[in-house]
Copies of this chain bind each other. A is one copy, B any other.
Amino acid sequence: MADQTKERIVEAACRTLVKHGYHQTSMKDIAAEAGLAPGLAHYYFETKEDLLVAAIEHACRPVVEVWEQAGINLTGPLPEDADPLAFGRAGFELAKLELKNYSGLFLLIFDMFGVGLHNPKIAAAVQAFISERRAFVGRIAQGVVAGMRERPAASVEAIAAAIWGSLHGIYLQKLLDPGFDADAAIDAMSEMTMAFVTSPGTGTRMEA
């Protein structure tokens, strides 16, 4: 019974945060959304920050589940027999679907990015989110880079940071402007990445 109401509170927090954002959600709002007494949110979470951290972690769960359903182990290594290049391509497709299906999560996450800039507790939660997902991109990049004819100058970590960054920079544009064509931007990023991966070599071109 206790765990149930705790989860009800966290879920209500997710809903209100997605709908109204960090500024405009009070503890009372969250309790009301959950259909509970105002004081109860503080019974389960000492501070508002603690509840928000729990909400972030809760909101991320469904996305991870989608990945795992697609046969991707988020924290473990990639399947040995898979073609890394195909994996990379699929990753970009997955990114497009993610944005479409879980825009609420990203609304919450980008809101929290902003909060985290000046709030250590939220920053820690948000960085966990970043690290996990960027490392996953890095694992795909690792496989792809290993198959390249010439090793790129950039490290795998740097490539992963660039690709993760590009996807989230694209997400940001979409969230701020619903008319933005995120699919086209992700396709462009995918095309650029694939050209990079299959290019004969870097730094061997004529100077103008």
Contacts and interface: CB of A to CB of B under 8 A. Distances in A.
A154 B23 contact: no
B114 A110 contact: yes
A172 B118 contact: no
B110 A159 contact: no
A189 B173 contact: no
A186 B162 contact: yes
A65 to B, nearest CB: 24
A118 B192 contact: no
B191 A165 contact: no
A187 B158 contact: yes
Interface stretch (A2-10, A39-47, A68-76, A176-184): A176-184
A29 interface: no
Contact of A115 (B114, B162, B192): B114
28 contacts: A21-B114, A21-B115, A21-B117, A21-B118, A23-B23, A23-B118, A85-B208, A107-B117, A110-B114, A127-B177, A130-B173, A130-B177, A152-B188, A152-B191, A153-B191, A158-B184, A159-B192, A161-B173, A161-B181, A164-B173, A165-B168, A165-B169, A165-B185, A166-B189, A168-B169, A169-B169, A194-B202, A195-B195
Given A126-B176, A130-B173, 19 more contacts: A23-B118, A110-B113, A110-B117, A111-B118, A117-B175, A117-B176, A127-B177, A157-B184, A158-B184, A158-B185, A158-B187, A158-B188, A159-B192, A161-B184, A162-B189, A162-B192, A165-B189, A168-B169, A196-B199
